[in-house]
Structure 1
């Protein structure tokens, strides 16, 4: 029976009815899902946070495994070379044993590096704090005596400083009586138990982080041991769910992402280690104080692109300033020269063009992702944005190739139009005279706009003056 026969008989099949209202049904379901998501956002985020807290050791383990993976590859190549030199081919069991040893060596290397840093920094930090406690009061007294002597020798400055001191004393007295004491009575003292509880929670959170890191190291061992199986399973899922072309594209960009992240992060670690060593050698040569502690700070913070050197240099300079202002100035000059050497010689030699981003996009990525995730965002922002940039660039180039247009960026500089010719496309650019003409026209338009704005302001002021005068005349009448 045909569809016309069904319509003539006044009947309609279930398939036709479902097809007729299927679009409306999907819209209603989608609207209901969006509404439920919006009204339950707090519960959703709390659930995500809860799940993240549960799997946090696994996340830590994955990060540790990713950082240790290059070390395992290096140790594996070194051990396999021994068999290759002897002309032997290792058995599957031997390869498994070698892989286990490479994981153990990589983990011990990571722990050893952290232990050495703690061994170098913690005693220096304790010594620095003790030294500051012993020397800062006497240095403050010396600075006070020096300033007092200079002020007393200048009558004008002494009178001005006396007035300033009186005003400052009144200001501080006002703050103490009207702000500090009421705050102590109404806020601090009643909430001491709450602050103590928050401090205890902070200590517990720190111990929890250490515990998660310990469990993460165990997880990292299992991830490194089964990484080939995990990668194979991931590829199996991708090829099973997606079409072959889509799966090839996904795996291609995952491979690019891995190359960018591993190359950038490991390159920055090596670069920062070299900068820290050079900084220590130069500070020792110039007899600057706290050489070891400051060099570790400078080296660690140098991992953060662009802003890292300043993050490490500012507190280090403040620390040296407490000992000697002149040495603090020398340190600032030393760090400035060192960063120029790093940015122009050491960094490019180690990192090369690992991300392919210009200086503007590097700065943008650090600010953007740093605003979302803080220090972690600054660390991973550059390679993450480089992956996004690569995907967008490849998509734009794919669209241009489909239209048989040029993918070279230089072709589009000062582009005026693209003309379709029989033998292809012709890219027409603005001539130098046209570019100058555009600038002149723009300047003329800007001057006209300024004159118009100025005339409008004068006209409004004249009208306002006229209105005021007429109001005054009416009041007099």
Structure 2
């Protein structure tokens, strides 16, 4: 009897250990994930639901973080929130109409011209490449590295052919994806209206499902997540717009063809930190190099100046230090998210990492205070 009571006491002490209990909870979660992964059809409705609502929610969230400060400002000016939202919608309709009437035809003409000149650009690049192959310097490099240019060109041709075949076969998938995007855009205004009108009630609604003991900590986590996401979305979009505007002005000054299209491409790709500008410079390099060597030099100068202005003045003032994420970490996060989730992962990599970082930081602080495994740091005086 005493031996049984002794084992019971030991087992109770074992379970009262918070670290052991934490490991047991993780083990149970892992077992549940393992069991449900063996029956994936259970998650099929959830996957379809997530696929359906994810894009509208993402688009609505982006527009919400851009427009909510204006609605809050009008509300502080004693204008009812519903009237502020209505005025905002009217302003957006006017801006969209102006863009469709004035800017879209210009973009269409430049895109059509760029598409029509693709054969010319391809021929010019091929001529320049053949001139480079015939040079003595390239021949020396080829002999040193053992390159077979014929095999290399054949391989590139085969890859291009395969790419075209895959693109042709993927037209159906592209049309389906385009339909989903159009439907998502149509639903954004309806979701955005209710989010702008009742968005402040959402955190308290979510806290209603959280145990009372954890509501204070959960609210602080949501506030910090909201601050991180809002600062990143607003800052990155403003920075991207500034980059596009500066490049458009620079391209107009040097007389680069298709300046508006190239600037829009640069603005869109600059949403991805660090890697976006490297992608955006490629089409501009092609157009400038085919035009003339002087134009290529001018384009590089414009791009360098814009990047210096963005790095030294625009980003520090707009983005600041709110993210507290090292650039190397951002690059690895973007590459990993791109491999896992494609283009959507690349776009959402940084804000998603910021949210996970906030959650992990607060969980660690909670574990640190509750476990008793960490002693509080104390300042050592000079007399000790």
- The TM-score, its normalising length taken from structure 2, stands at 0.71
Partner of 2:196: 224
> Which of structures 1 and 2 has the bigger CA Rg?
1
**Alpha-carbon contact 2:74-2:84 (below 8 Å) kept:** no
**Alpha-carbon contact 1:302-1:308 (below 8 Å) kept:** yes
From 125, 130, 143, the equivalent of 2:116 is: 130
**Alpha-carbon contact 1:61-1:220 (below 8 Å) kept:** no
Q: CA deviation at 1:234?
A: 1.9
Per-residue CA shift, 1:395-414, capped at 9, x if unaligned? 6567389612159xxxxxxx
From 316, 335, 345, the equivalent of 2:313 is: 345
Partner of 1:63: 58
Rounded Cα–Cα distance in structure 1 between residues aligned with 2:76 and 2:106: 35
Q: CA deviation at 1:267?
A: 0.5
1:331-370 alignment runs, 5 A limit: 331-370=299-338
**SS, match of residue 257 in structure 2:** coil
Q: CA deviation at 1:293?
A: 1.4
1:26-37 alignment runs, 5 A limit: 36-37=35-36
Q: CA deviation at 1:311?
A: 1.0
Cα RMSD, aligned residues only: 4.6
**SS, match of residue 208 in structure 2:** helix
From 277, 280, 296, the equivalent of 2:264 is: 296
Answering whether residue 65 of structure 2 is matched by residue 50 of structure 1, we say no
Rounded Cα–Cα distance in structure 1 between residues aligned with 2:259 and 2:174: 31
Rounded Cα–Cα distance in structure 2 between residues aligned with 1:200 and 1:382: 31
1:312-323 alignment runs, 5 A limit: 312-323=280-291
Relative distance call for 1:406 and 1:353 in structure 2 (3 A) is farther
1:306-455 alignment runs, 5 A limit: 306-393=274-361, 399=368, 403-405=375-377
Partner of 1:200: 172
Q: CA deviation at 1:231?
A: 3.5
Q: CA deviation at 1:264?
A: 0.9
Relative distance call for 1:82 and 1:260 in structure 2 (3 A) is closer
Relative distance call for 1:330 and 1:365 in structure 2 (3 A) is same
Rounded Cα–Cα distance in structure 2 between residues aligned with 1:68 and 1:97: 17
Partner of 2:20: none
Partner of 2:212: 243
Per-residue CA shift, 1:91-142, capped at 9, x if unaligned? xxxx254244155247537846974764553321112222444x44874797
1:4-15 alignment runs, 5 A limit: none
Count the aligned residue pairs: 344
Rounded Cα–Cα distance in structure 1 between residues aligned with 2:74 and 2:33: 56
Per-residue CA shift, 1:169-212, capped at 9, x if unaligned? 9x96x999xx99xx99xxx9xxx9x9977533432332233123
Relative distance call for 1:265 and 1:73 in structure 2 (3 A) is closer
Q: CA deviation at 1:216?
A: 3.4
Rounded Cα–Cα distance in structure 2 between residues aligned with 1:357 and 1:37: 34
Rounded Cα–Cα distance in structure 2 between residues aligned with 1:228 and 1:290: 44
Partner of 1:272: 240
Rounded Cα–Cα distance in structure 1 between residues aligned with 2:30 and 2:311: 52
Partner of 1:258: 226
State the structure with bigger RCO (CA 8 A, min sep 6), 1 or 2: 2
**Alpha-carbon contact 1:76-1:98 (below 8 Å) kept:** no
